[in-house]
Amino acid sequence: MRVTVVICTYTLDRYGAFKEAIASVEAQTYEDVDLVLVSDGNKMVCEKMCSEYENTDHMTLHCNDQSLGIGPSRNEGAKLGTGDIVAFIDDDSTATENWIEEIVWAFEEYDALSVGGKMIGDWVAGEPWFLPAEFHWLVGVTHPNFADSGEEVRNAFGSNYAFRRDVFLALSGFDERVGRKGDKERQAHESEIGVRLQQEYSRGVIYHPKAVVAHKIFKYRTNVFWLLRRSFMQGYSKRIFDRIHPDAAGNEGEYLRHLLFGNVPSRLQGLVRSPSVAKAVQLLMLFVFTASVGLGYLYAAVMIWLQSYSDSIDLTFGTN
C-alpha cells in the first residue's frame, strides 16, 4: 500500500516544529510514502516552504491563497496525494519511526476503512502538575481508558488519523463548518467525519495504539486559563457538532459516567490514603474542566437559539 501523509501549517511561529514533523515522516521505516505539505494562506510560510522543499522527491507542495482552516487544507492535501491511504499529522507533532508501518498493518489486519493511533505528550515546558490525566485530551494527548487495541471508535485524534483515500474522498473529506482555522479554537472535525463514516459504511475507526505520534505541548498550552478556554471551546464545538448531526451517537456520555463514577472515587481513595496538594488540586480540576465544557455547550446552545431570531449571529468560529 502506498501512503500519502498530509501536513498543514499556517504560521512561521511553528515552522521549526513543522520541519521536525516533516523529518519524522521522512525517517519512517515504511518506504512507499509520498508527502503533501500545505501552507494555509500565509505567503511567508509558502515562500519558505517552497524554497526548502520544492525539489524534494516524493513531496508535493500546495499554498492556499487565503486561510481556509485545517479541514479544507487537509482535504486539498488528500486530493493531491497518490496513496491508497491518506494519513494526517499536525505541524507540531512527530511520528515514531514505525508509525506508518503500524498504520498499514492495522489497515490490512482489520480490513479497516480508517485507523487512529495513540497520541503521547512531548511536554516541551514540562507537564503541568494540576492537569489530571483524564483531561490530557485537551492538549491532544490520548487519555486513559480511551479505547482498547483493535476497538472500533467514532473518531481518532486529528494528528494521528488515517483513511483509505478513496473512502476519504468519497466522504468529501472534513467538513469546513468545524475544525480549527488559524488561532481559532474551533474543534470537532475529527468527530464529524467519523459520524459520516459510520453513516455511509456502518463502520468506525480502528484504534491501534502501536501507531504512536508525539504532540508538542508548548508552554502556553500548560496555562490554566488557556486550558479553561480550550475546554469551553470543546463544549461549544460539541454543541455545533450536535446541530450538524443531532442523531449521532457519541462516547461523551460514557466518558462522563466513567469520570464521575470511576475516576473521581478512585482519586478520592488515593487522596485519603496518601494526601497531597497535587492530588487534591487535580481532583478539583476534574470538576472545573467538566464545568467549563458544560458552560461552552450551554453558551453555544443559547447562541443557536438567538440565531433563530437573528441572521447576524455567526456561529462559525466562536471566540479566539
Q: List the chain domain ranges.
A: 3-221
User: Which pLDDT score is estimated for 86?
Assistant: 98
Which is nearest to 230 in space by CA: 128, 138, 127, 130? 138
pLDDT of residue 187: 62
The phi, psi pair for 113, rounded to 5°, reads -95, -25
Q: What integer pLDDT is reported at residue 303 of this predicted model?
A: 85
3-state secondary structure (DSSP) of residue 173: coil
Looking at CATH, the fold of the domain delimited by 3-221 is given as Spore Coat Polysaccharide Biosynthesis Protein SpsA; Chain A (3.90.550)
Buried residues in 195-214 as b, exposed as e (16+ CB within 10 A) = bbbbeeeeebbbbbbebbbb
DSSP bridge partners of 9 = 39
Q: Which residues does the chain have with pLDDT short of 50?
A: 183, 317-320
pLDDT of residue 260: 83
For the chain, give the longest Cα–Cα distance: 61
> What are the residue ranges of helices labelled H in 32-137?
43-53, 70-80, 99-110
What is the C-alpha to C-alpha distance for residues 102 and 30, in angstroms, rounded to an integer? 9
Q: Tell me, what's the pLDDT at 308?
A: 73
In whole angstroms, give the CA distance from residue 147 to residue 138. 17
**Closest residue by Cα to residue 30 from 106, 115, 113, 103:** 103
Half-sphere exposure of 243 (CA within 13 A, CB side): 20
Identify how many contiguous H helices and E strands the chain contains and give both numbers.
Answer: 10, 9
In the prediction, which pLDDT does 254 show? 74
